[in-house]
Amino acid sequence: MSSDIETIVIGAGVIGLAAGRALAEAGQEVLVLEQAALVGSEISARNSEVIHAGLYYPPGSLKARFCVEGRKALYQFCRENGVIANRCGKLVVATQESEVPKLEALAENAKANGIRDPVLLSGAEARSLEPALACEAALLSPSTGVVDSHGFMQALEGHITSKAGQIVLNTRVTGATPRSGSGFELAIESDGAAGHITCDRLVNAAGLGASEIGAYLHLEGDYRPPQTYPAKGHYYQVTGPVPFRHLIYPLPEGAWLGLHLTFDCGGKAKLGPDLEWVESIDYAFDDSDGARLATFSREARRYWPSLPAGALAPDYTGIRPKIYRKEEPAADFAIHGPETHGLPNFVGLYGIESPGLTSSLAIGSYLAELLSVRSPSCS
Ligand SMILES: Cc1cc2nc3c(=O)[nH]c(=O)nc-3n(C[C@H](O)[C@H](O)[C@H](O)COP(=O)(O)OP(=O)(O)OC[C@H]3O[C@@H](n4cnc5c(N)ncnc54)[C@H](O)[C@@H]3O)c2cc1C
């Protein structure tokens, strides 16, 4: 039974675009379907834009593997495609003596993930790099940086459309079923009109909508796609001068990286994101009682004591697509191919939270492999 198109990718965030690029460069005819009027306007537009080194993730996890591979691929891609990336480095700080063993454990974890360049510094050594910093010790990660994520997504778009690929906006997938024999049929709504489209291969990269699409496809059999639990993060912009050249991170608390100070490629500095488990997807910035601002100011002053009063202004929020509940241990990326769910020629991606931006090119190459098409080199 012939299909309308070889491969459909649902979702034009950074993961769907990286998948579309890998598949198009492997010679596939690819259609990326996106419900919004713009590419990359959901999770991929509302993050810290940090190119993570891979310090935090459990050795052997997909997060560790794809972060390390993806970081190298991302710096190279940016160099080759004129996308701005700034390898500014970061300092993870122990602000009390009692935190120093945690910093040392983080350095060991980085080593286990194959990251050779982090350096443990005394408080004095850290202050010689960043005089405004308060800390007892720090871990310097020279290969951490920031990327112009929108420039990156635009470049991915160019790679897709310059091969046999198309990105179709304003098109929502409202249903998906495996066809008898092979392939898939998708129900779509585009500009108010309903329709159907068929494909041989399918990638579900719908971010916060991925579990819903997975549920359409797996009505039969024992496999169920992971459920998504949204977790919101707020950012405050730092107005006025910022005395740091490196990104500054406190020690992580579980899987949360703590309220960190980062800047984008244009130099705009921000603090965040915090972690608030929410019931629904709503990007409103709520701080009606001032409690959030007070927490941000207090936490930032642990490592930046001279943060001026009045320097923080509400900026934006983002929502993490977590696939575990607040009380459960953190989960790895869930990238489920046929060996997991039994449906040939389908890959579903769930829980692609941080470091998803850093990992995107490596994930794209992996998807092309899972779907058994030759992938572009990721390194
Ligand atoms: C607060 C925060 C900070 C982060 N910071 C970092 C960081 O510093 N570094 C890093 O590496 N990673 C970071 N991340 C993670 C990173 O942003 C994500 O992993 C990545 O952007 C996920 O991309 P995506 O393509 O999976 O999702 P999205 O960008 O959300 O893309 C999915 C797309 O699918 C579309 N869609 C959904 N349902 C449908 C449907 N039914 N039909 C058609 N289209 C549909 C959506 O409109 C959306 O555009 C952060 C994430 C958050 C939330």
Distance 43 CA to ligand 1 centre (A): 3
pLDDT above 70 covers a percentage of the chain that reads: 98
Distance 42 CA to ligand 1 centre (A): 6
Domain ranges of the chain: 5-49+150-227+329-370, 90-142+229-322
**pLDDT in the model for residue 373:** 67
Residue 233's closest CA among 290, 271, 269, 288? 271
Distance 310 CA to ligand 1 centre (A): 31
Q: What is the spatial distance between Cα 232 and Cα 256, in angstroms, rounded to a whole number?
A: 12
Q: What is the spatial distance between Cα 88 and Cα 145, in angstroms, rounded to a whole number?
A: 5
Atom 51 of ligand 1, residue of closest alpha carbon: 47
Low-confidence ranges of the chain (pLDDT < 50): 378-379
**pLDDT in the model for residue 375:** 52
CATH class of 5-49+150-227+329-370: alpha beta
Residues flanking ligand 1, CB < 6 Å: 10-16, 33-36, 40-44, 46-50, 52, 172-173, 205-209, 213, 233, 273, 318-320, 352-358
Q: What is the pLDDT of residues 95-106, one digit of tens each?
A: 999 999 999 999
Which of 66, 274, 352, 357 gets mutated to test ligand 1 (max ligand atoms within 8 A of its CB)?
357
Atom 41 of ligand 1, residue of closest alpha carbon: 173
Atom 35 of ligand 1, residue of closest alpha carbon: 11
Q: What is the spatial distance between Cα 119 and Cα 167, in angstroms, rounded to a whole number?
A: 43
Atom 21 of ligand 1, residue of closest alpha carbon: 44
Q: Which residue has the tokens 């090119």?
A: 361
Measured CA distances, 232 to 39, 322, 331 (Å): 21, 10, 17
Count other C-beta atoms under 10 Å from residue 316's C-beta: 17
pTM of the model: 0.97
Distance 14 CA to ligand 1 centre (A): 7
Closest atom, ligand 1, to C-alpha of 355: 11
Distance 237 CA to ligand 1 centre (A): 21
Answer whether CATH 3.60.15.10 is correct for domain 90-142+229-322. no
- Residue 66 has, within 13 A of its CA and on its CB side, a CA count of 25
Which of 35, 38, 39, 47 gets mutated to test ligand 1 (max ligand atoms within 8 A of its CB)?
47
Distance 335 CA to ligand 1 centre (A): 15
**203-220 burial string, b = 16+ CB within 10 Å, else e?**
bbbbbbbbbbbbebbbee
**pLDDT in the model for residue 374:** 54
**pLDDT in the model for residue 379:** 42
Atom 4 of ligand 1, residue of closest alpha carbon: 47
